[in-house]
Amino acid sequence: MEKEQLEHMRHSCAHLVAAAVQALYPTAKFGVGPAIENGFYYDIDFGESISENDLQKIEDKAKELGKKGLGYARTEMSVEEATKFFSERNQPFKVELLKDIKEKGSTKMDEQNTELSGVVGKVSIYQTGDFIDLCRGGHVENTKEIGPFKLTKIAGAYWRGKSENPQLTRVYGVCFATQADLDEYLHMMEEALKRDHRKIGQEQELFFFDEMVGKGLVMWLPNGTTIRNEIEKLAVEMERKGGYTRVRTPHLAKEEMFLTSGHLPYYKDSMYPPMVMDDGTYYLKAMNCPHHHTMYNFKKHSYRELPLRLAEYGECYRNELSGTLAGLLRVRAMAMNDAHIYCRKDQIKDEFKAVLELIMKYFKIFGLENYWFRLSKWSPSHLEKYINQPENWEYAEGMIREVLQEMNAPFVEAEDEAAFYGPKVDVMFKSVIGREETMSTVQLDFAAKQRFGLTYTDDTGADNNEVFVIHRAPLSTHERFMAFVIEHFGGKWPVWMAPTQVVLVPVTEKHAAGAKQIEQELFDLNIRVESDDANETLGNRVRKAVGRQVPYIVVVGDKELSGEDWMIRVRGEKDQIKMSKQQFIEKLQKEIKDRI
């Protein structure tokens, strides 16, 4: 089925469900009901509290109505007629949409890919059974054309996406052309859940949370820490090659610093509350920029020193709303793969490009492919949200677009999404459960130079305040990046990252000492190796190592200890490979060194 037809079907299904809701809850007030990926939703004020137990009832009713073969009869009305019509039927949300259409010729909802569009002066109305809806359309002819569907969940959703508005109940459903498609989707979701970073994090003992520590605060276990450290080691290497220098700054600072940076008035709610000390009030840092800027000002800089690149895996603390916390994807304490690049305006382009190239280099090493760039721009119609330097905005956005095009990077542009201090490029990813998240970010900053008085001595010997700052976090935060790579690898870590790279399994007790000796030998070569001489059968010890997704397993018996070739069990391979001990060690070292 064509994509458009599918969307029509899913949207028609939303109407059908709404019709069922109207039949069961006659006083329900309807919001909007668009098609979304894999299905649809409808926002409804039920007038009473609804729980997931009620979904089956609604689904049954919808299916019953669907079988009747109802049509989607279209009529047109003037905006005034429609307003009167929906007022009489006590549908305030529809009336509000009509008001917007009348005033603006369209509704803001259009931008959110919902159902309405303003055809000047006239609107279209669709009737399915007794349910009549204000709707732009795009429907199937008859409810019999709607494929198998299933109501999946309910959630609160603010009317028109604004938290000051009343909250409606959003009914989610999935809908497919055929039963086979629906089954496949449900199966895929099940499979995806197996790769969920929280599940693998538990299985492989990577991290955990504890109520006594606090929510959103990750406790990294030894295995998780090993992987984190490998990622950080990579970052240190790459940044060294990229001309960065590494620094270290405290996790907190005085109020004055965050007032200077301008963060405190704007982001106070997102910061942990203040700590009052004898010499002032302190805050945990929510970002590393102010510390780095202060470090820049440690001494005077010559134009010859620019670009100056200060890098740090900086620990930040953010008081994210409790409802938004999600495994490692959104936490309250995080280690950011941060760096700030201080440069002149004529250096911005090269620096920005170098950062984007660095990002792509990283992703290549990890084999990450499903990402896209998003250029977040200011909006000339919301000037109050952005620093008032129109010439810099125009210049920077044009320059960044050029860089993205030169690199052939897949990107979208988003108006009114920039930071207040400058445009940014985010790298977007989808998590295994289909949630879109920002991974990397590169941000240009026109504001820091004024706020922190950043200057350099130019070639005439004068103080120059035109210091531009690039904030960048290619590897996101350790927390979020770990979430992505866990799901990406599904827990099957490449050798260089694997918490345990080799497990040795001595056949019997009399081989244990020999295995220990090999373990020591590999250990001395910086290989993460374990020998498992537990009081269990050989088969069970192999099984346990396999279950842990260890890349290489070697059974150690008389043959191995007498210098014969080893049989090496490779993760995911049915057949073992045969090679000498020395060859195996060289193979391991190469794979670790080359990060393959």
Partner RNA sequence: GCCGUUGUAGCUCAGAUGGUAGAGCAUUUCCAUGGUAAGGAAAAGGUCUCGGGUUCAAUUCCCGACAACGGCUCCA
Question: To which H or E segment does residue 463 belong?
Answer: strand 463-464
Q: Which is nearer to RNA, 113 or 520 (CB)?
A: 113
Q: How far is the CB of 267 from RNA (least distance, A)?
A: 4
By CB under 7 A, tell whether 427 contacts RNA. no
User: d(Cα 394, Cα 15) in Å, to the nearest integer?
Assistant: 44
Of the candidates 4, 37, 49, 273, which one interacts with RNA according to CB under 7 A?
Answer: 49
Of the candidates 119, 247, 326, 407, which one interacts with RNA according to CB under 7 A?
Answer: 326
Contacts (Cβ under 8 Å, ≥6 apart) of 434:
37, 192
Of the candidates 559, 580, 590, 596, which one interacts with RNA according to CB under 7 A?
Answer: 559
By CB under 7 A, tell whether 415 contacts RNA. no
Burial 290-324 (b: 16+ CB within 10 A, else e): bbbbebbeeeebeeeebbbbbbbbbbbbbbbeeee
By CB under 7 A, tell whether 155 contacts RNA. yes
Nearest-CA neighbor of 455 among 309, 310, 293, 263? 293
Beta pairing, strands 502-506 & 529-531: parallel
Q: How far is the CB of 572 from RNA (least distance, A)?
A: 8
Q: How far is the CB of 193 from RNA (least distance, A)?
A: 9
Q: How far is the CB of 118 from RNA (least distance, A)?
A: 21
Site string for RNA, 461-490 (x = CB under 7 A): ----------x-------------------
Q: How far is the CB of 140 from RNA (least distance, A)?
A: 25
Residues 62-101 binding RNA (CB under 7 A) are none
**Burial (0-12, 13-18, 19+ Cβ within 10 Å), 24:** middle
Of the candidates 567, 577, 579, 585, which one interacts with RNA according to CB under 7 A?
Answer: 567
Q: Give the three-class secondary structure for 425.
A: strand
Neighbours of 348 (CB within 10 A): 22
Burial 383-406 (b: 16+ CB within 10 A, else e): eeebbebeebbebbbebbbebbee
Angstrom CA distances, 389 to 114, 357, 395, 556, stand at: 34, 28, 10, 69
Of the candidates 96, 110, 320, 458, which one interacts with RNA according to CB under 7 A?
Answer: 320
Q: How far is the CB of 234 from RNA (least distance, A)?
A: 23
By CB under 7 A, tell whether 460 contacts RNA. no
At which residue do the structure tokens 């200060």 appear? 310
User: d(Cα 352, Cα 120) in Å, to the nearest integer?
Assistant: 44
Of the candidates 169, 392, 500, 531, which one interacts with RNA according to CB under 7 A?
Answer: 169
Q: How far is the CB of 489 from RNA (least distance, A)?
A: 16
Residues 530-549 binding RNA (CB under 7 A) are 534-540, 542-544, 546-547
Of the candidates 83, 91, 223, 441, which one interacts with RNA according to CB under 7 A?
Answer: 441
Pick the piece of the chain touching RNA (CB under 7 A) from 148-156, 398-406, 490-498, 514-522: 148-156
User: d(Cα 385, Cα 563) in Å, to the nearest integer?
Assistant: 71
Residues 106-125 binding RNA (CB under 7 A) are none
Q: Which is nearer to RNA, 326 or 407 (CB)?
A: 326
Angstrom CA distances, 222 to 116, 206, 405, stand at: 53, 7, 42
Q: Which is nearer to RNA, 129 or 551 (CB)?
A: 551
Site string for RNA, 274-313 (x = CB under 7 A): ------------xx-x------------------------
By CB under 7 A, tell whether 221 contacts RNA. no
Which amino acid, residue 593? K
